[in-house]
């Protein structure tokens, strides 16, 4: 039997990954900043698979190359060899409500009589129309908040820092920015620090900023520290200069620990993998059940499944095989092909699961269609029981800060109780980790985390009448 799955029922998507690198001009030939940026974006590909781009400066001009597709599809050796310089910024994008078009791909470039500015952005602003009203009509050519920021930051000619000092305090929402002019690399993070941003140092000279420490690791950079909430840095021949444009009000995204960040990334000095395994242990203690094998939904459920198996004493096993080559496809399936459903991505190991009481661990349930298809597929393959365990609390509220969650009306937990969700997906039992246990596993104080998708408490205020839907059509 095949299991039809709604192709829009994708896992939560982060808006994008950002990367920037500065090396001394006399090391430009050796360092090849375009290739460093390519590898950095490759490490951040999980944060956005829709488009990719790199901007490079040789000290006198900025060249931008961007296109739709994965990093490896957009760039090849010949393209990278044309992007020569000693400063670069790069971006991989997944749009939330903004259009998936070439114009909205990043870096966003603006030019003036004083020079150029290239900007990449991870996050989502909630006062974009207010910011756009500061610009002259006809200035904007794209439909993203990134375009608005780039236009505003280029208003002070050859002094982006002066523009940033004026604009960023008036900017509300989530933004981790990396931008450059012909001679300097800049980075800034919103006062809440909702989206991540880290600083690294290259051996032999040079500096790197990236969304995650995994982006530093891949280019051999040493992790120095996180860019602080409300901090802005500038990197040039004088080194790294830091200044604060707003008081820090830390509210890091809790969902980074659940799904978004790579497991080999470090947040606040703690491995994401270690946190996810600990969440699995706590999940086993909160929602025990008799079973024969713990299996993950690969790969998002793997660390928590390992922790669940450790704490429960139930053997960990592989019950589903993932096709590693299924990414975001631009080929829309016909109805005949669509009915193959989830088997394009996952297929059961019948010999391993037949007759077994399975505990299936996954990171989250958004609309419910994927879990419904998995449960049915496992039963068809002979599973005696299917118990679903989720390593996050119910996702009940939309995100306005850069994650492509559905509207509240589309979120299954926004409308149904846990028991009703269990019945809807066809599981024998369903258990979510509690919010308190997830927070405790993160080792971050509750008041320093954004938990809005779980509890509806938005750290940057959102109008009450907007909480059931995405706030803006203009988004990064």
CA neighbor of 58 nearest in space, from 91, 106, 24, 90: 24
CATH code of 358's domain: 3.40.50.2020
Q: Are residues 176 and 71 in the same domain?
A: yes
Using pLDDT thresholds of 50, 70 and 90, give the confidence band for residue 462: confident
Residue 173 lies in a domain: yes
Q: Is residue 110 pLDDT above 60, yes or no?
A: yes
Q: Are residues 241 and 294 in the same domain?
A: no
Residue 123 lies in a domain: yes
How many domains does the chain contain in total? 2
Q: Is residue 66 pLDDT above 80, yes or no?
A: yes
pLDDT on residue 83: 96
Q: Are residues 293 and 246 in the same domain?
A: no
Which of 221, 251, 281 is the last residue before a domain boundary? 251
Residue 298 lies in a domain: yes
Average pLDDT over every residue of 264-286: 96
pLDDT on residue 7: 38
Using pLDDT thresholds of 50, 70 and 90, give the confidence band for residue 136: confident
Q: Are residues 131 and 272 in the same domain?
A: no
Phi and psi torsions of 331, nearest 5°: -100, 110
Q: Is residue 19 pLDDT above 80, yes or no?
A: yes
Range in 166-175, 195-204, 261-270, 332-341 the model is least confident about:
332-341
Q: Distance from CA of residue 286 to its chain's centroid?
A: 28
Cis peptide preceding 299, ω within 30 of 0 = yes
Encoding tokens for residue 153? Answer: 């930051």
Query: Is 16 among the catalytic positions?
Result: yes
Q: Are residues 293 and 345 in the same domain?
A: yes
Residue 460 lies in a domain: no
pTM of the entire predicted model = 0.89
pLDDT on residue 344: 74
pLDDT on residue 465: 56
* pLDDT tens-digit series, residues 420-456: 999 999 999 999 999 999 999 999 999 999 999 999 9
* Neighbour count for residue 239 (Cβ, 10 Å): 8
Using pLDDT thresholds of 50, 70 and 90, give the confidence band for residue 297: very high
pLDDT on residue 327: 55
Q: Are residues 294 and 172 in the same domain?
A: no
Alpha-carbon span 421 to 364, nearest angstrom: 12
Q: Are residues 342 and 420 in the same domain?
A: yes
Q: Are residues 90 and 28 in the same domain?
A: yes
pLDDT on residue 333: 53
Average pLDDT value for the chain: 89
Residue 51 lies in a domain: yes
Residue 466 lies in a domain: no
* pLDDT tens-digit series, residues 360-398: 999 999 889 889 999 999 999 999 999 999 999 999 999
pLDDT on residue 342: 67
Residue 383 lies in a domain: yes
Q: Are residues 236 and 301 in the same domain?
A: no
Residue 10 lies in a domain: no
CB 277 within 8 A of CB 363: no
Strands 346-348 and 320-322: antiparallel
Instruction: List residues bridging with 53 in a β-sheet.
Output: 66, 91
pLDDT on residue 148: 92
Residue of 16, 92, 253, 453 marked active site: 16
Q: Are residues 229 and 281 in the same domain?
A: no
CA neighbor of 403 nearest in space, from 16, 1, 37: 16
CATH code of 47's domain: 3.60.20.10
Q: Is residue 330 pLDDT above 90, yes or no?
A: no
CA neighbor of 190 nearest in space, from 260, 261, 267, 253: 253
Q: Is residue 299 pLDDT above 90, yes or no?
A: no
Average pLDDT over every residue of 239-256: 96
Question: CB within 8 A of 43, min separation 6: which ones?
Answer: 210, 212, 214, 215, 217, 218, 262
pLDDT on residue 105: 87
Q: Is residue 96 pLDDT above 80, yes or no?
A: no
pLDDT on residue 325: 65
Alpha-carbon span 426 to 422, nearest angstrom: 6
Q: Is residue 79 pLDDT above 90, yes or no?
A: yes
pLDDT on residue 466: 53
Alpha-carbon span 256 to 466, nearest angstrom: 24
Q: Is residue 469 pLDDT above 50, yes or no?
A: no
Q: Is residue 156 pLDDT above 80, yes or no?
A: no
Q: Are residues 203 and 280 in the same domain?
A: no
For residue 132, give its domain range.
16-251
Q: Are residues 220 and 277 in the same domain?
A: no
Using pLDDT thresholds of 50, 70 and 90, give the confidence band for residue 404: confident
Which of 216, 251, 286 is the last residue before a domain boundary? 251
pLDDT on residue 343: 72
Using pLDDT thresholds of 50, 70 and 90, give the confidence band for residue 196: very high
CA neighbor of 287 nearest in space, from 369, 392, 440, 413: 392
Average pLDDT over every residue of 50-77: 95
Instruction: List residues bridging with 235 in a β-sheet.
Output: 185, 240
Q: Is residue 217 pLDDT above 90, yes or no?
A: yes
């Amino acid at each position: 039997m095949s299991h039809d799955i709604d192709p829009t029922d994708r896992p939560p998507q982060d808006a994008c990954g950002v990367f920037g690198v500065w090396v001394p001009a006399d090391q430009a030939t050796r360092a090849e900043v375009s290739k460093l940026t390519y590898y950095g974006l490759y490490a951040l590909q999980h944060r956005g698979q829709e488009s990719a781009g790199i901007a490079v400066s040789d000290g006198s001009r900025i060249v931008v190359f961007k296109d739709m597709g994965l990093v490896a599809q957009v760039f090849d050796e010949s393209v990278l060899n044309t992007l020569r310089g000693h400063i670069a910024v790069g971006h991989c994008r997944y749009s939330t409500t903004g259009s998936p078009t070439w114009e909205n791909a990043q870096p966003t470039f603006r030019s003036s009589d004083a020079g150029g500015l290239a900007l990449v952005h991870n996050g989502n602003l909630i006062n974009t129309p207010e910011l756009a009203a500061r610009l002259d009509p006809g200035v904007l050519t794209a439909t993203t908040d990134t375009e608005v920021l780039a236009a505003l930051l280029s208003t002070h000619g050859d002094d982006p820092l002066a523009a940033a000092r004026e604009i960023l305090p008036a900017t509300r929402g989530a933004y981790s920015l990396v931008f450059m002019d012909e001679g300097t690399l800049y980075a800034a993070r919103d006062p809440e620090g909702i989206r991540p941003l880290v600083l690294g140092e290259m051996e032999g000279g040079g500096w790197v900023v990236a969304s995650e420490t995994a982006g530093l690791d891949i280019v051999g950079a040493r992790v120095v520290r996180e860019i602080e909430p409300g901090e802005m840095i500038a990197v040039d021949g004088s080194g790294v200069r830091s200044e604060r444009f707003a008081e820090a009000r830390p509210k890091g995204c809790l969902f980074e620990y659940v799904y978004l960040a790579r497991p080999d990334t470090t947040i606040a000095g703690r491995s994401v993998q270690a946190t996810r395994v600990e969440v699995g242990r706590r999940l086993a203690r909160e929602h025990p059940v008799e079973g024969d094998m713990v299996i993950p939904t690969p790969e998002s459920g793997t660390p928590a499944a390992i922790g669940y198996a450790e704490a429960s004493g139930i053997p960990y096993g592989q019950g589903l095989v993932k096709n590693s080559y299924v990414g975001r496809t631009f080929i829309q399936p016909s109805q005949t092909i669509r009915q193959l459903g989830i088997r394009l991505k996952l297929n059961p190991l019948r010999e391993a699961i037949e007759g077994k009481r399975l505990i299936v661990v996954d990171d989250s349930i958004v609309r419910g269609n994927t879990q419904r298809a998995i449960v049915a597929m496992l039963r068809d393959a002979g599973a005696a029981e299917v118990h679903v365990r989720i390593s996050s609390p119910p996702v009940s509220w939309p995100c306005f800060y850069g994650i492509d969650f559905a509207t509240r009306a589309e979120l299954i937990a926004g409308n149904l109780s846990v028991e009703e969700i269990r019945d809807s997906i066809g599981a024998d039992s369903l258990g979510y980790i509690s919010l308190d246990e997830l927070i405790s596993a993160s080792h971050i104080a509750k008041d320093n985390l954004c938990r809005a998708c779980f509890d509806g408490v938005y750290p940057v205020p959102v109008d009450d009448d907007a909480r059931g839907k995405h706030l803006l059509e203009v988004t990064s």
